[in-house]
């Protein structure tokens, strides 16, 4: 499987900086930190790109 890489554009770098510093716009929660340690790509999709996981359909 080919490696997935996200280009660090100025916009993405700005979003990442939003997690750092005293005046951070977003909090770097324990869950976010754990997600980053587990899988940096998952962290990017969830917290930086703010993609939501699709709802799962329940079978009847």
pLDDT band at residue 25, thresholds of 50, 70 and 90? Answer: confident
41 has a pLDDT exceeding 90: yes
Which pLDDT does position 10 carry in this prediction?
94
Please check whether residue 35 is in contact with residue 42, taking contact to mean a CB–CB distance below 8 angstroms.
Answer: yes
Average pLDDT in the chain: 86
Residue by residue, DSSP assigns 2-48 as PPP-----HHHHHHHHTTSSTT-SS---HHHHHHHHH-HHHHIIIII
Which pLDDT does position 34 carry in this prediction?
95
Task: Report the range of poorest mean pLDDT among 3-12, 17-26, 36-45.
Answer: 17-26
CA–CA dist 44, 46 (Å, integer) = 6
- Give the pLDDT mean for 8-20: 87
């Amino acid at each position: 499987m080919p490696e997935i890489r996200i280009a660090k554009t100025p916009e993405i770098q700005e979003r990442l900086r939003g997690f750092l510093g005293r005046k951070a716009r977003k909090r770097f929660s324990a869950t976010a930190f754990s997600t980053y340690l587990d899988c940096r790509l998952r962290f990017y999709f969830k917290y930086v790109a703010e993609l939501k996981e699709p709802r799962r359909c329940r079978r009847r």
